[in-house]
Chain A
Amino acid sequence: MRKFSMMMALVMSLTLLLAACSGNNGGNNANKPGSDPSAAPSNDVGAPPAEEDITQKKVSISIYYPTPDRVEDRALEDDKIKRFNEVFPNVEVIKSDWQYNPNEIGIKMGANEAPTLFNTYASEGKFLAEKGWAADITELFNNYEFKDQMNPVLQDLFTVDGKVYGIAQRGYPTGVAVNKKMLDEKGIAIPPFDWTWEDMLNTAKAVSDPDAGISGIAPMGKGNEAGWNWTNFLFTAGGDIQSVDGGKVTATFNSDAGVKAMEYYNQLKWEANAIPLDWALGWGDAVSAFAQSRTAMVIAGPDGPVDQGLNQGGMSPDDILVYPIPAYEKGGKHYGVLGGDFLVINPNATKDEQEIAFRYATFDYFSDKGLESLEQNIQARKADNKFYVPAVLQYFKSDSEYGAKVTELFGKHDNVYQYGQETLGLIDGKPESQFNTQDYYGAMTNVIQEVFSKEGVDIKAQLDMTAKLVQEKFYDTIQP
Chain B
Amino acid sequence: MEQSTAVPISQSKPQTQRSGKIKRYMWGYLFLLPAIAIFTLFLWLPIFKGVMSSFYTIDFVKGDSFVGLANYKTVFQDADVLVSVKNTLYYMGLALVIGFWVPILFAVSISEMRRFQGFARVAAYLPYVVPFVVLYGVWRWLYDPVGPINAVLKSLGIGQISFMVDRAWSMISIVIMETWQSFGSAMLIYLAAVLSVPREWYEAAEIDGAGVWQRIRHITLPAIRGQILLMLMLQLIATSQGFQTQYAMLDGGPNNATLTYALLIVRYAFVRQDYGVASALGVLMFFALSILAIIQFRINNRGGVES
Contact = CB atoms under 8 A, between A and B. Distances in A.
A446 B256 contact: yes
Contacts of B182: 1
Nearest to A2: B244
B255 A453 contact: yes
A22 B282 CA distance: 23
A368 to B, nearest CB: 39
A109 B178 CA distance: 35
Interface string A1-27: 111110111111111111100101111
B271 A24 contact: no
A280 B262 contact: no
Contact of A102 (B50, B58, B271): B271
Contacts of B145: 210, 213, 276-278
Interface stretch (A36-44, A76-84, A229-237, A437-445): A437-445
Contact of A280 (B58, B164, B241, B273): B164
Contact of B275 (A3, A14, A102, A221): A14
A453 B49 contact: no
A312 B50 CA distance: 45
A453 B165 contact: yes
Given A28-B61, A132-B62, A2 B241 contact: yes
Contacts of A469: 79
Contacts of A439: 272
A9 B238 contact: no
A446 B43 contact: no
A96 interface: no
B188 interface: no
A110 interface: yes
Nearest to B78: A473
A104 B50 CA distance: 18
Given A1-B242, A7-B265, A15 B53 contact: yes
B89 interface: no
Nearest to B249: A280
**Chain A interface secondary structure, helix, strand, loop or mixed?**
helix
A27 B256 contact: no
B294 interface: no
A13 B63 contact: no
Interface size class of B (residues with CB under 8 A): 35 or more
B45 A16 contact: yes
B61 A131 contact: yes
B143 to A, nearest CB: 7
B93 interface: no
A452 B2 CA distance: 97
Interface string B151-187: 0000000001010111100000000001000100000
A2 B261 CA distance: 14
A50 to B, nearest CB: 33
A213 B160 CA distance: 12
A278 B165 contact: yes
Contacts of A131: 59, 61, 273
A223 B238 CA distance: 25
A473 B271 CA distance: 15
Nearest to A17: B46
Contact of A282 (B178, B239, B243, B251): B251
A11 B269 contact: yes
A70 B150 CA distance: 38
A473 B81 CA distance: 14
Interface in B6-52: 42-43, 45-47, 49-50
Contacts of B250: 222, 280
Nearest to A279: B165
Nearest to B43: A5
Interface residues of A, number: 64
Interface in A82-123: 102-107, 109-111
Contact of B273 (A24, A106, A278, A453): A106
Interface string A468-479: 010001000000
B255 A450 contact: yes
Nearest to A462: B255
B238 A133 contact: no
Contacts of A13: 42, 45-46, 49-50
A429 interface: no
A189 interface: no
A184 B245 CA distance: 39
Contacts of A3: 238, 241
Contacts of A102: 271
Nearest to A447: B255
A14 B45 CA distance: 11
Nearest to B46: A13
A278 B162 contact: yes
Contact of A213 (B146, B165, B178, B278): B146
Contact of A11 (B50, B164, B167): B50
B112 interface: no
A212 interface: yes
A453 B166 CA distance: 6
A11 B61 contact: no
Nearest to A108: B60
A1 B244 contact: yes
A133 B61 contact: yes
Interface in B63-77: 63-64
A161 interface: no
B252 to A, nearest CB: 9
- Shortest beta-carbon contacts, A-B, top 9: A110-B60, A12-B50, A13-B46, A213-B146, A277-B145, A103-B270, A16-B49, A449-B254, A449-B255
13 contacts: A1-B182, A2-B243, A10-B269, A12-B279, A13-B42, A15-B53, A26-B61, A28-B61, A102-B271, A276-B145, A445-B253, A449-B253, A453-B167
Given A3-B241, A452-B254, A469-B79, 20 more contacts: A1-B178, A4-B241, A7-B282, A8-B286, A10-B266, A12-B46, A12-B49, A12-B279, A15-B46, A16-B49, A18-B60, A25-B63, A106-B60, A221-B254, A222-B253, A277-B160, A277-B165, A278-B145, A449-B255, A452-B165
